[in-house]
Amino acid sequence: MMALLMALNAFGIDAILPALDDLAETLGAPGNDRQFVVGAYLLAAGLGTLAPGAFADRFGRRPVLFVALAAYIGLSLACASATTFDGLVILRAAQGFFAAGIVALPPAIIRDRVGGDKMARMMSLIFVIFLLVPAIAPSIGRGVLVLTGDWRWIFVTMALAGIAMSAWVFIRLPETLHEEDRQEIRIPLIARNMKSAVSLRETIGYTLGSMLVFGGLFGFINSSQQLIGEAFGAGDDFNIIFAICAGCMAIANWLNSRIVERYGARRVSHAALFVFIFVAAAQLWFANQPDESLWTFVPLMAANMSLLGFIGANFGSIALQPFRHIAGAASSAQGFLRMTGGAALGAYIGYAYDGTARPLALALLVTAVLSLAFVLFSERGTLFGPPVPEED
C-alpha cells in the first residue's frame, strides 16, 4: 500500500512522458518548454511536502493522506480539461503541491512502526514496487494515447488510479501515529521540530546527498524523451528503454532489501556512491566522444539508476532514524529539501539539454561527488559504519 501510494506520484510524472510531443503541439509549447509539465510538478511537490507532516503529527496520518489523495484526483481531472499550456503548467504545479502528502507520509508511517536498518530494508522493498511504476508508466501512457488518440485521457487515468488507492487506504490502513507522539499545531513547535530534522549533523549530509543524486535522476527524467528520441533517434523504443532503466533500479532495491540488515545501510550506500561516481565519469567520457551511441548510453545510465537503488532508501532511512517521535515533521522537512532541491536541479539539468548527453553526464558526476562530500561531513570523515539495530 505504501509503495503504490508513493507510486501515484511517479505515475503522475512518467505516464505523460510519451505524450509530451502531442501535448506541446496541441497547446503550442515551444522547444524545451514541454519539460515544464514534469518540472513544475516535481518542484511544487517538493514545496508541498513542508505542510503534511506537521498536520499528520497532530491529527494523524489517515486524515492528511485523504486530503492529499483528493487533491491528486481533482487536479488530475482539472489537468485533463486544460486549454492552454500555461494553464496546464499551473495546474500541474498545484497538483504536485497539494498532493505532496502521498510522498511525504509513507516514510513517516513506516517510521511509526520500525527503525534502524530494518526500516531501510522495508523502504527498499517499497521502492521495488514503487519503481516498477516508472518502468511501466510510459507504456501505460502510450497505450492510453493509442486507444483514445488524446493525451487528456492520461490525466483521467491518473484520477482513476487515485480513486482506487483512496478506497484501499480507507478500508485497510489503520492509524499509525502513537498517541503519546501527537504534537500541537503551534508554529514555534513545528519550526523547532523541522529545524532539528534538517540541522542535525549526523543526518543532514544524507538529506542533501540524496537531493543531489536524485536531482541528476530528475534531470534524466526531464530530458529523457528528447535525449532518447532525438539525440539517439530511438523514439519508437523510448518506452522500452525507460522501462529497462527503471526496472534496473527496482531490481537493485530488491537486492538492497536482502543485504542491508546484514551489512548496514551505511556500508551498502557508501560503496554504491563510490561506484556511482566511477560510472558517471565513464558516462562523461563517452558523452564527449563524437560517435557516442545508444549502446553505450543505455547500459551506463541503467547502471547508475541501479546504484541509486542502493543509495536512495538507505540515505532516507539514515536521515529519518533519530526522529521517531516527530516522524511526520521530520519526513516533511527532509522531503522538502530533497524534492525541492532535486526538482530545481533536475529542471536546470533538463533545460540544459543541447542535443547531446554531455550536460546530463556532467551533472551526474558533479552531483555524486558533492553528495560524497556531504556524507563525509555527516560522518565526520569516517565511512562504512556498522549496521544499526531497530531499537537504536
- The residue assigned the cell 535522476 is 217
- Amino acid making up residue 325: H
Query: 176: which residues sit within 8 A by CB, 6+ positions away?
Result: 61, 109, 112, 113
Task: Round to whole Å and give the CA distance between 276 and 274.
Answer: 5
**CA 209 to centroid of chain Cα atoms:** 14
Closest C-alpha among 204, 247, 218, 199 to residue 371: 204
**CA 145 to centroid of chain Cα atoms:** 25
Per-residue pLDDT, averaged over 160-182, amounts to 88
Confidence (pLDDT) at 80: 93
Task: Round to whole Å and give the CA distance between 177 and 90.
Answer: 34
DSSP per residue, 153-212? HHHHHHHHHHHHHHHHHHHHPPP---GGG-----HHHHHHHHHHHHH-HHHHHHHHHHHH
> In 3-state terms, what secondary structure has residue 30?
coil
Confidence (pLDDT) at 134: 67
DSSP state of 237: G
Residue range 60-70, pLDDT digits in tens: 889 999 999 99
Cα–Cα distance list, 165 to 3, 4, 20, 138 (Å): 11, 8, 26, 20
pTM of the entire predicted model: 0.71
Task: Round to whole Å and give the CA distance between 166 and 66.
Answer: 7
First to last CA, the chain: 26
**pLDDT confidence of 392, banded at 50, 70, 90?**
very low
**pLDDT confidence of 246, banded at 50, 70, 90?**
confident
Question: Does the pLDDT of residue 109 top 80, yes or no?
Answer: yes
- The grid cell for 125 is 522493498
Question: Does the pLDDT of residue 178 top 70, yes or no?
Answer: yes
Average pLDDT of the chain, as a whole number: 84
Q: By mean pLDDT, which of 127-131, 140-144, 261-265 is the weakest?
A: 127-131
- Other CB atoms within a 10 A radius of the CB of residue 87 amount to 14
Most confident range (mean pLDDT) of 105-109, 142-146, 251-255, 267-271 is: 267-271
| List of domains in the chain | 2-378 (1.20.1250.20)
